Structure 1
Amino acid sequence: MAAQTTLDLNCDMGESYGAWKMGDDEAVLGYVSSANIACGFHGGDPSTIRKTVAAAIKQGVALGAHPGFQDLAGFGRRTMLISPQEAYDITVYQVGAVAGVARSQGGALHHVKAHGAFYNMAAKDARLARAIAQAVHDIDSSLILYGLAGSAMIQEAQALGLRVANEVFGDRSYQPDGSLTPRAQPDAMITDVNKSVEQILRMVQEQVVIATDGTRVPVRADTLCIHGDQPNAVAFAQGIRKALQDAGITVRTV
Protein backbone atom coordinates (compact mmCIF):
# COMPACT_ATOMS: atom_id res chain seq x y z
CA MET A 1 0.00 0.00 0.00
CA ALA A 2 1.37 3.43 -0.97
CA ALA A 3 2.25 5.78 1.87
CA GLN A 4 -0.48 8.28 2.73
CA THR A 5 0.59 11.83 1.93
CA THR A 6 -2.54 13.88 2.73
CA LEU A 7 -4.98 14.16 5.63
CA ASP A 8 -8.01 16.34 6.29
CA LEU A 9 -8.10 18.02 9.72
CA ASN A 10 -11.64 18.71 10.87
CA CYS A 11 -12.84 20.48 14.01
CA ASP A 12 -16.22 20.59 15.76
CA MET A 13 -17.02 24.26 16.37
CA GLY A 14 -19.68 26.96 16.51
CA GLU A 15 -20.95 25.37 19.72
CA SER A 16 -21.33 28.56 21.76
CA TYR A 17 -24.83 29.89 22.32
CA GLY A 18 -26.34 32.90 24.04
CA ALA A 19 -23.98 34.13 26.78
CA TRP A 20 -22.14 30.78 26.90
CA LYS A 21 -18.85 30.66 24.99
CA MET A 22 -17.16 27.41 24.07
CA GLY A 23 -13.76 27.03 22.48
CA ASP A 24 -11.55 29.42 20.52
CA ASP A 25 -12.85 28.82 17.03
CA GLU A 26 -11.02 31.74 15.43
CA ALA A 27 -7.63 30.42 16.56
CA VAL A 28 -8.32 26.78 15.70
CA LEU A 29 -9.52 27.69 12.20
CA GLY A 30 -5.95 28.63 11.32
CA TYR A 31 -4.82 25.01 11.62
CA VAL A 32 -7.67 22.91 10.19
CA SER A 33 -9.03 22.28 6.71
CA SER A 34 -12.69 21.48 7.55
CA ALA A 35 -15.14 22.87 10.11
CA ASN A 36 -18.12 20.98 11.52
CA ILE A 37 -20.55 23.69 12.59
CA ALA A 38 -23.15 23.04 15.29
CA CYS A 39 -26.69 23.48 14.05
CA GLY A 40 -28.45 24.74 17.19
CA PHE A 41 -29.62 21.48 18.76
CA HIS A 42 -26.67 20.42 20.96
CA GLY A 43 -24.96 23.80 20.72
CA GLY A 44 -24.84 26.90 18.58
CA ASP A 45 -27.45 29.53 17.77
CA PRO A 46 -28.32 31.53 14.64
CA SER A 47 -25.77 34.28 15.27
CA THR A 48 -23.02 31.84 16.20
CA ILE A 49 -23.68 29.78 13.07
CA ARG A 50 -23.42 32.90 10.88
CA LYS A 51 -20.22 34.10 12.56
CA THR A 52 -18.58 30.67 12.40
CA VAL A 53 -19.53 30.16 8.76
CA ALA A 54 -18.17 33.59 7.84
CA ALA A 55 -14.92 32.99 9.75
CA ALA A 56 -14.41 29.60 8.08
CA ILE A 57 -15.01 31.05 4.62
CA LYS A 58 -12.53 33.86 5.34
CA GLN A 59 -9.83 31.32 6.21
CA GLY A 60 -10.62 28.98 3.32
CA VAL A 61 -11.88 26.18 5.55
CA ALA A 62 -14.51 23.77 4.16
CA LEU A 63 -17.99 24.12 5.68
CA GLY A 64 -19.73 21.19 7.33
CA ALA A 65 -23.00 20.80 9.22
CA HIS A 66 -22.75 19.09 12.62
CA PRO A 67 -26.26 17.86 13.54
CA GLY A 68 -26.93 16.36 16.96
CA PHE A 69 -29.62 15.55 19.47
CA GLN A 70 -31.79 18.40 20.77
CA ASP A 71 -30.09 18.38 24.15
CA LEU A 72 -28.35 21.62 25.10
CA ALA A 73 -28.11 20.63 28.77
CA GLY A 74 -26.30 17.41 27.92
CA PHE A 75 -24.36 18.91 25.00
CA GLY A 76 -25.79 16.19 22.76
CA ARG A 77 -23.70 13.52 24.45
CA ARG A 78 -26.55 11.67 26.17
CA THR A 79 -28.13 8.67 24.47
CA MET A 80 -31.70 9.31 23.32
CA LEU A 81 -34.29 6.90 21.98
CA ILE A 82 -35.01 7.98 18.43
CA SER A 83 -36.65 6.34 15.44
CA PRO A 84 -35.06 6.29 11.98
CA GLN A 85 -37.75 8.72 10.78
CA GLU A 86 -36.93 11.13 13.59
CA ALA A 87 -33.24 10.78 12.80
CA TYR A 88 -33.97 11.65 9.18
CA ASP A 89 -36.11 14.65 10.15
CA ILE A 90 -33.66 16.21 12.61
CA THR A 91 -30.83 15.74 10.14
CA VAL A 92 -32.70 17.46 7.31
CA TYR A 93 -33.75 20.29 9.63
CA GLN A 94 -30.27 20.98 10.99
CA VAL A 95 -28.28 20.50 7.78
CA GLY A 96 -30.75 22.70 5.95
CA ALA A 97 -30.18 25.49 8.48
CA VAL A 98 -26.41 25.54 8.07
CA ALA A 99 -26.66 25.16 4.29
CA GLY A 100 -28.91 28.24 4.22
CA VAL A 101 -26.49 30.27 6.33
CA ALA A 102 -23.60 29.15 4.14
CA ARG A 103 -25.40 30.40 1.04
CA SER A 104 -26.20 33.72 2.74
CA GLN A 105 -22.48 34.25 3.36
CA GLY A 106 -21.45 33.38 -0.18
CA GLY A 107 -20.36 29.84 0.59
CA ALA A 108 -21.62 26.31 0.15
CA LEU A 109 -21.84 23.26 2.36
CA HIS A 110 -19.11 20.67 1.78
CA HIS A 111 -19.89 17.87 4.26
CA VAL A 112 -22.01 16.59 7.13
CA LYS A 113 -20.86 14.98 10.35
CA ALA A 114 -23.19 13.88 13.14
CA HIS A 115 -22.38 14.91 16.71
CA GLY A 116 -21.89 13.15 20.03
CA ALA A 117 -24.34 10.43 20.95
CA PHE A 118 -26.04 10.76 17.55
CA TYR A 119 -22.70 9.99 15.88
CA ASN A 120 -21.80 7.11 18.19
CA MET A 121 -25.22 5.46 17.95
CA ALA A 122 -25.23 5.68 14.15
CA ALA A 123 -21.75 4.16 14.05
CA LYS A 124 -23.26 0.90 15.32
CA ASP A 125 -26.96 1.11 14.39
CA ALA A 126 -27.41 0.58 10.66
CA ARG A 127 -31.01 1.86 10.71
CA LEU A 128 -29.99 5.21 12.20
CA ALA A 129 -26.97 5.38 9.92
CA ARG A 130 -29.16 4.76 6.88
CA ALA A 131 -31.61 7.47 7.97
CA ILE A 132 -28.83 10.05 8.35
CA ALA A 133 -27.26 9.07 5.06
CA GLN A 134 -30.62 9.23 3.29
CA ALA A 135 -31.27 12.70 4.70
CA VAL A 136 -27.91 13.94 3.45
CA HIS A 137 -28.49 12.30 0.07
CA ASP A 138 -31.92 13.89 -0.28
CA ILE A 139 -30.63 17.36 0.59
CA ASP A 140 -27.61 17.25 -1.73
CA SER A 141 -26.11 14.00 -3.01
CA SER A 142 -22.78 15.75 -3.67
CA LEU A 143 -22.18 16.30 0.06
CA ILE A 144 -19.54 14.17 1.80
CA LEU A 145 -20.59 12.27 4.90
CA TYR A 146 -17.98 12.04 7.65
CA GLY A 147 -18.27 8.97 9.89
CA LEU A 148 -16.26 6.78 12.24
CA ALA A 149 -13.78 4.79 10.15
CA GLY A 150 -15.18 1.43 9.10
CA SER A 151 -18.50 1.96 10.89
CA ALA A 152 -22.11 1.39 9.86
CA MET A 153 -22.29 5.11 9.03
CA ILE A 154 -19.65 4.70 6.35
CA GLN A 155 -21.20 1.49 4.99
CA GLU A 156 -24.73 2.88 4.73
CA ALA A 157 -23.57 6.11 3.10
CA GLN A 158 -21.57 4.20 0.51
CA ALA A 159 -24.58 1.98 -0.20
CA LEU A 160 -26.49 5.13 -1.18
CA GLY A 161 -23.68 6.30 -3.42
CA LEU A 162 -22.54 9.13 -1.15
CA ARG A 163 -18.92 10.14 -0.91
CA VAL A 164 -17.53 9.40 2.55
CA ALA A 165 -14.61 10.37 4.75
CA ASN A 166 -13.44 7.76 7.25
CA GLU A 167 -12.81 9.68 10.45
CA VAL A 168 -10.23 8.98 13.14
CA PHE A 169 -9.51 10.64 16.48
CA GLY A 170 -6.23 11.65 18.04
CA ASP A 171 -7.62 12.71 21.40
CA ARG A 172 -9.76 9.64 22.06
CA SER A 173 -8.84 6.06 22.91
CA TYR A 174 -10.30 3.11 21.01
CA GLN A 175 -11.99 -0.15 21.91
CA PRO A 176 -11.04 -3.49 20.26
CA ASP A 177 -14.10 -3.29 17.97
CA GLY A 178 -12.92 0.04 16.55
CA SER A 179 -15.41 2.15 18.51
CA LEU A 180 -14.42 5.08 20.70
CA THR A 181 -14.04 4.50 24.43
CA PRO A 182 -17.10 6.02 26.18
CA ARG A 183 -16.29 9.41 27.71
CA ALA A 184 -17.47 8.22 31.13
CA GLN A 185 -14.49 5.88 31.34
CA PRO A 186 -11.26 7.32 32.82
CA ASP A 187 -9.07 6.39 29.83
CA ALA A 188 -11.40 7.81 27.18
CA MET A 189 -9.52 11.04 26.51
CA ILE A 190 -5.92 11.54 25.42
CA THR A 191 -4.77 14.84 26.91
CA ASP A 192 -1.03 14.61 26.14
CA VAL A 193 -0.39 16.10 22.70
CA ASN A 194 2.69 13.89 22.21
CA LYS A 195 0.66 10.72 22.82
CA SER A 196 -2.01 12.07 20.50
CA VAL A 197 0.53 12.70 17.75
CA GLU A 198 1.93 9.18 18.20
CA GLN A 199 -1.54 7.70 17.73
CA ILE A 200 -2.28 9.89 14.73
CA LEU A 201 0.94 9.06 12.89
CA ARG A 202 0.37 5.36 13.49
CA MET A 203 -3.16 5.61 12.07
CA VAL A 204 -1.95 7.51 9.00
CA GLN A 205 1.32 5.68 8.34
CA GLU A 206 0.45 2.14 9.49
CA GLN A 207 -3.37 2.19 9.11
CA VAL A 208 -3.84 0.84 12.64
CA VAL A 209 -4.75 2.15 16.10
CA ILE A 210 -3.81 0.50 19.37
CA ALA A 211 -6.95 -0.24 21.43
CA THR A 212 -7.05 0.06 25.21
CA ASP A 213 -6.37 -3.69 25.56
CA GLY A 214 -3.37 -3.57 23.22
CA THR A 215 -5.21 -4.88 20.15
CA ARG A 216 -4.03 -3.48 16.81
CA VAL A 217 -7.22 -2.34 15.08
CA PRO A 218 -7.13 -1.59 11.32
CA VAL A 219 -8.37 1.91 10.42
CA ARG A 220 -8.55 4.11 7.35
CA ALA A 221 -7.76 7.75 8.06
CA ASP A 222 -9.29 10.16 5.56
CA THR A 223 -10.01 12.88 8.11
CA LEU A 224 -8.88 13.55 11.67
CA CYS A 225 -11.10 15.19 14.27
CA ILE A 226 -9.87 17.85 16.67
CA HIS A 227 -12.42 18.69 19.37
CA GLY A 228 -12.84 22.45 19.60
CA ASP A 229 -14.43 22.25 23.06
CA GLN A 230 -11.40 20.78 24.82
CA PRO A 231 -9.43 23.33 26.92
CA ASN A 232 -6.16 22.88 24.99
CA ALA A 233 -7.67 22.68 21.51
CA VAL A 234 -5.39 25.34 20.01
CA ALA A 235 -2.22 23.71 21.39
CA PHE A 236 -3.41 20.33 20.09
CA ALA A 237 -4.14 21.77 16.66
CA GLN A 238 -0.73 23.45 16.50
CA GLY A 239 1.14 20.34 17.61
CA ILE A 240 -0.72 18.00 15.29
CA ARG A 241 -0.35 20.27 12.28
CA LYS A 242 3.41 20.59 12.84
CA ALA A 243 3.84 16.84 13.39
CA LEU A 244 2.01 16.07 10.15
CA GLN A 245 4.10 18.62 8.28
CA ASP A 246 7.32 17.16 9.71
CA ALA A 247 6.18 13.69 8.59
CA GLY A 248 5.61 14.92 5.04
CA ILE A 249 1.80 14.75 5.29
CA THR A 250 -0.12 17.60 3.66
CA VAL A 251 -3.25 18.88 5.41
CA ARG A 252 -5.97 19.16 2.78
CA THR A 253 -9.74 18.90 2.66
CA VAL A 254 -11.11 15.59 1.33
Structure 2
Amino acid sequence: MNNGTKKLAGKIAVITGGNSGMGLATAKRFVEEGAHVVITGRREKELAEAAAFIGINVTTVAGDVSNLEDLDRLYAVVKEKHGHIDILFANAGGGTVAPLATATESHFDKIFDVNVKGLFFTVQKALPLFKDGGSIILTSSNANVLGVPAFTAYAASKAAVRSFARGWTMELKDRKIRVNSMSPGPIETQALEKAGLTAEQAEQAAAQFASQVPLGRRGKPEEIAAVVVFLASDESSYITGVDLAVDGGMAQV
Protein backbone atom coordinates (compact mmCIF):
# COMPACT_ATOMS: atom_id res chain seq x y z
CA MET A 1 0.00 0.00 0.00
CA ASN A 2 1.30 3.46 -0.84
CA ASN A 3 2.01 5.17 2.49
CA GLY A 4 -0.99 3.49 4.06
CA THR A 5 -3.43 4.73 1.41
CA LYS A 6 -5.78 2.05 0.20
CA LYS A 7 -6.67 1.98 -3.50
CA LEU A 8 -10.25 0.80 -3.03
CA ALA A 9 -11.16 2.45 0.28
CA GLY A 10 -14.90 2.24 0.92
CA LYS A 11 -15.71 0.67 -2.46
CA ILE A 12 -18.38 -1.99 -2.88
CA ALA A 13 -17.22 -4.83 -5.14
CA VAL A 14 -19.02 -7.87 -6.51
CA ILE A 15 -16.93 -10.86 -7.62
CA THR A 16 -18.46 -13.88 -9.34
CA GLY A 17 -16.51 -17.10 -8.98
CA GLY A 18 -15.00 -15.58 -5.86
CA ASN A 19 -14.78 -18.82 -3.89
CA SER A 20 -11.52 -20.15 -5.38
CA GLY A 21 -8.53 -19.44 -7.59
CA MET A 22 -8.19 -16.02 -9.17
CA GLY A 23 -11.53 -14.79 -7.83
CA LEU A 24 -10.65 -15.64 -4.25
CA ALA A 25 -7.17 -14.12 -4.47
CA THR A 26 -8.73 -10.96 -5.92
CA ALA A 27 -11.43 -10.79 -3.23
CA LYS A 28 -8.75 -11.05 -0.53
CA ARG A 29 -6.69 -8.31 -2.17
CA PHE A 30 -9.75 -6.06 -2.67
CA VAL A 31 -10.49 -6.23 1.06
CA GLU A 32 -6.85 -5.48 1.88
CA GLU A 33 -7.22 -2.40 -0.34
CA GLY A 34 -10.25 -1.21 1.65
CA ALA A 35 -13.20 -2.62 -0.30
CA HIS A 36 -16.25 -4.53 0.92
CA VAL A 37 -16.76 -7.59 -1.27
CA VAL A 38 -19.73 -9.75 -2.15
CA ILE A 39 -18.59 -13.06 -3.62
CA THR A 40 -20.56 -15.77 -5.39
CA GLY A 41 -19.86 -19.40 -6.11
CA ARG A 42 -21.86 -22.56 -6.60
CA ARG A 43 -20.65 -24.46 -3.54
CA GLU A 44 -21.66 -23.34 -0.03
CA LYS A 45 -18.72 -25.12 1.64
CA GLU A 46 -16.14 -23.40 -0.58
CA LEU A 47 -17.87 -20.06 -0.02
CA ALA A 48 -17.71 -20.49 3.75
CA GLU A 49 -14.00 -21.38 3.53
CA ALA A 50 -13.39 -18.39 1.25
CA ALA A 51 -15.13 -16.03 3.69
CA ALA A 52 -12.99 -17.37 6.54
CA PHE A 53 -9.84 -16.88 4.44
CA ILE A 54 -10.80 -13.29 3.51
CA GLY A 55 -11.70 -12.57 7.13
CA ILE A 56 -13.56 -9.25 7.13
CA ASN A 57 -15.84 -7.14 4.95
CA VAL A 58 -17.08 -10.12 2.93
CA THR A 59 -20.59 -11.37 2.14
CA THR A 60 -21.23 -14.66 0.35
CA VAL A 61 -24.16 -15.54 -1.91
CA ALA A 62 -24.38 -19.06 -3.33
CA GLY A 63 -25.47 -19.25 -6.94
CA ASP A 64 -24.77 -20.16 -10.54
CA VAL A 65 -24.27 -17.23 -12.92
CA SER A 66 -25.98 -19.14 -15.74
CA ASN A 67 -29.18 -19.18 -13.64
CA LEU A 68 -30.81 -15.75 -13.94
CA GLU A 69 -32.85 -16.22 -10.74
CA ASP A 70 -29.58 -16.79 -8.86
CA LEU A 71 -28.26 -13.51 -10.30
CA ASP A 72 -31.41 -11.72 -9.15
CA ARG A 73 -30.88 -13.11 -5.64
CA LEU A 74 -27.25 -11.97 -5.68
CA TYR A 75 -28.14 -8.39 -6.55
CA ALA A 76 -31.04 -8.34 -4.07
CA VAL A 77 -28.49 -9.11 -1.33
CA VAL A 78 -26.09 -6.44 -2.66
CA LYS A 79 -28.90 -3.87 -2.79
CA GLU A 80 -30.12 -4.66 0.73
CA LYS A 81 -26.66 -4.70 2.30
CA HIS A 82 -24.83 -1.96 0.38
CA GLY A 83 -27.32 -0.13 -1.87
CA HIS A 84 -24.93 0.21 -4.80
CA ILE A 85 -21.95 -1.28 -6.65
CA ASP A 86 -18.66 0.44 -7.51
CA ILE A 87 -16.73 -2.52 -8.98
CA LEU A 88 -17.83 -5.71 -10.71
CA PHE A 89 -15.34 -8.49 -11.44
CA ALA A 90 -17.29 -10.84 -13.72
CA ASN A 91 -14.93 -13.72 -13.26
CA ALA A 92 -17.00 -16.92 -13.04
CA GLY A 93 -16.17 -19.24 -15.90
CA GLY A 94 -14.43 -22.37 -16.98
CA GLY A 95 -14.50 -25.11 -19.55
CA THR A 96 -13.66 -28.67 -20.37
CA VAL A 97 -11.54 -30.03 -23.20
CA ALA A 98 -13.16 -31.68 -26.19
CA PRO A 99 -11.93 -32.05 -29.79
CA LEU A 100 -14.22 -30.68 -32.49
CA ALA A 101 -14.83 -34.16 -33.90
CA THR A 102 -16.23 -35.56 -30.65
CA ALA A 103 -17.58 -32.53 -28.73
CA THR A 104 -21.14 -32.92 -27.50
CA GLU A 105 -23.98 -30.43 -27.39
CA SER A 106 -23.86 -30.44 -23.58
CA HIS A 107 -20.11 -29.62 -23.66
CA PHE A 108 -20.81 -26.61 -25.86
CA ASP A 109 -23.90 -25.47 -23.95
CA LYS A 110 -22.27 -25.71 -20.55
CA ILE A 111 -19.33 -23.53 -21.60
CA PHE A 112 -21.44 -20.89 -23.32
CA ASP A 113 -24.10 -20.86 -20.56
CA VAL A 114 -21.53 -19.84 -17.96
CA ASN A 115 -18.83 -17.97 -19.89
CA VAL A 116 -21.08 -16.04 -22.28
CA LYS A 117 -24.72 -15.99 -21.18
CA GLY A 118 -23.89 -15.97 -17.48
CA LEU A 119 -21.36 -13.17 -17.84
CA PHE A 120 -23.69 -11.15 -20.09
CA PHE A 121 -26.52 -11.17 -17.55
CA THR A 122 -24.14 -10.75 -14.59
CA VAL A 123 -23.28 -7.35 -16.07
CA GLN A 124 -26.78 -6.46 -17.28
CA LYS A 125 -28.37 -7.10 -13.90
CA ALA A 126 -25.67 -5.13 -12.06
CA LEU A 127 -26.31 -1.93 -14.01
CA PRO A 128 -29.24 -0.56 -11.96
CA LEU A 129 -27.05 -0.66 -8.84
CA PHE A 130 -23.90 0.63 -10.51
CA LYS A 131 -22.50 3.99 -9.50
CA ASP A 132 -21.50 6.21 -12.40
CA GLY A 133 -17.73 6.20 -12.74
CA GLY A 134 -17.45 2.57 -11.65
CA SER A 135 -15.31 -0.19 -13.12
CA ILE A 136 -16.28 -3.50 -14.71
CA ILE A 137 -13.61 -6.15 -15.26
CA LEU A 138 -14.39 -9.26 -17.32
CA THR A 139 -12.31 -12.43 -17.19
CA SER A 140 -11.43 -13.48 -20.72
CA SER A 141 -8.38 -15.66 -21.50
CA ASN A 142 -5.36 -15.48 -23.76
CA ALA A 143 -7.09 -18.41 -25.53
CA ASN A 144 -9.23 -15.71 -27.16
CA VAL A 145 -6.35 -15.07 -29.59
CA LEU A 146 -4.67 -18.49 -29.63
CA GLY A 147 -5.59 -21.58 -31.62
CA VAL A 148 -5.55 -24.35 -29.02
CA PRO A 149 -6.72 -27.82 -30.10
CA ALA A 150 -9.63 -29.24 -28.06
CA PHE A 151 -10.21 -25.87 -26.38
CA THR A 152 -12.10 -24.26 -29.27
CA ALA A 153 -15.52 -23.84 -27.61
CA TYR A 154 -13.80 -22.37 -24.56
CA ALA A 155 -11.62 -20.06 -26.69
CA ALA A 156 -14.65 -18.86 -28.68
CA SER A 157 -16.54 -18.13 -25.45
CA LYS A 158 -13.61 -16.03 -24.23
CA ALA A 159 -13.44 -14.18 -27.57
CA ALA A 160 -17.09 -13.26 -26.95
CA VAL A 161 -16.05 -11.81 -23.57
CA ARG A 162 -13.38 -9.73 -25.28
CA SER A 163 -16.03 -8.44 -27.67
CA PHE A 164 -18.38 -7.54 -24.81
CA ALA A 165 -15.69 -5.26 -23.33
CA ARG A 166 -15.62 -3.28 -26.57
CA GLY A 167 -19.37 -2.93 -27.00
CA TRP A 168 -20.15 -2.18 -23.36
CA THR A 169 -17.40 0.43 -23.23
CA MET A 170 -19.42 2.35 -25.82
CA GLU A 171 -22.79 1.66 -24.21
CA LEU A 172 -21.68 2.78 -20.75
CA LYS A 173 -19.34 5.65 -21.63
CA ASP A 174 -21.92 8.33 -20.81
CA ARG A 175 -22.08 6.94 -17.27
CA LYS A 176 -18.25 7.00 -17.10
CA ILE A 177 -18.29 3.28 -16.31
CA ARG A 178 -15.10 1.69 -17.59
CA VAL A 179 -15.21 -1.85 -19.00
CA ASN A 180 -12.06 -3.88 -19.56
CA SER A 181 -11.28 -7.53 -20.05
CA MET A 182 -8.38 -9.30 -18.41
CA SER A 183 -6.87 -12.32 -20.14
CA PRO A 184 -4.90 -14.73 -17.97
CA GLY A 185 -2.49 -17.24 -19.37
CA PRO A 186 -1.86 -20.47 -17.45
CA ILE A 187 -2.33 -19.78 -13.73
CA GLU A 188 -1.68 -22.05 -10.73
CA THR A 189 -5.31 -22.95 -9.96
CA GLN A 190 -7.44 -26.11 -10.11
CA ALA A 191 -8.67 -25.17 -13.60
CA LEU A 192 -6.83 -27.99 -15.40
CA GLU A 193 -8.21 -30.64 -13.07
CA LYS A 194 -11.68 -29.14 -13.45
CA ALA A 195 -11.25 -29.25 -17.25
CA GLY A 196 -11.50 -33.01 -17.08
CA LEU A 197 -7.80 -33.91 -17.00
CA THR A 198 -6.33 -36.48 -14.63
CA ALA A 199 -3.77 -35.26 -12.10
CA GLU A 200 -0.99 -36.63 -14.31
CA GLN A 201 -2.41 -35.01 -17.48
CA ALA A 202 -2.89 -31.72 -15.62
CA GLU A 203 0.74 -31.82 -14.51
CA GLN A 204 1.90 -32.48 -18.08
CA ALA A 205 -0.32 -29.69 -19.42
CA ALA A 206 1.01 -27.28 -16.79
CA ALA A 207 4.59 -28.12 -17.76
CA GLN A 208 3.78 -27.74 -21.45
CA PHE A 209 2.11 -24.37 -20.85
CA ALA A 210 5.08 -23.18 -18.79
CA SER A 211 7.41 -24.06 -21.68
CA GLN A 212 5.32 -21.81 -23.98
CA VAL A 213 5.50 -18.82 -21.63
CA PRO A 214 8.44 -16.44 -22.13
CA LEU A 215 8.66 -15.99 -18.35
CA GLY A 216 9.01 -19.77 -18.08
CA ARG A 217 6.33 -20.48 -15.49
CA ARG A 218 2.64 -20.37 -14.71
CA GLY A 219 1.30 -17.26 -13.04
CA LYS A 220 0.05 -17.04 -9.47
CA PRO A 221 -3.54 -16.05 -8.57
CA GLU A 222 -2.08 -13.12 -6.60
CA GLU A 223 -0.50 -11.80 -9.81
CA ILE A 224 -3.94 -11.74 -11.39
CA ALA A 225 -5.37 -10.03 -8.30
CA ALA A 226 -2.79 -7.23 -8.56
CA VAL A 227 -3.86 -6.50 -12.13
CA VAL A 228 -7.58 -6.56 -11.30
CA VAL A 229 -6.95 -4.10 -8.45
CA PHE A 230 -5.25 -1.83 -10.99
CA LEU A 231 -8.20 -2.06 -13.41
CA ALA A 232 -10.70 -1.54 -10.56
CA SER A 233 -8.96 1.51 -9.13
CA ASP A 234 -8.38 5.09 -10.22
CA GLU A 235 -4.84 4.05 -11.17
CA SER A 236 -6.36 2.97 -14.52
CA SER A 237 -8.72 5.95 -14.90
CA TYR A 238 -7.84 6.50 -18.58
CA ILE A 239 -8.12 2.83 -19.58
CA THR A 240 -11.32 1.38 -21.00
CA GLY A 241 -12.19 -1.15 -23.69
CA VAL A 242 -8.84 -2.93 -23.50
CA ASP A 243 -7.96 -6.57 -23.12
CA LEU A 244 -5.08 -6.72 -20.65
CA ALA A 245 -3.14 -9.96 -21.07
CA VAL A 246 -1.64 -11.35 -17.88
CA ASP A 247 0.04 -14.35 -19.43
CA GLY A 248 3.80 -14.05 -19.01
CA GLY A 249 3.99 -13.08 -22.68
CA MET A 250 2.54 -16.38 -23.92
CA ALA A 251 0.18 -14.93 -26.54
CA GLN A 252 2.10 -11.69 -27.07
CA VAL A 253 5.29 -12.65 -28.90
Select the structure with the greater relative contact order (CA < 8 A; seq sep ≥ 6).
Answer: 1
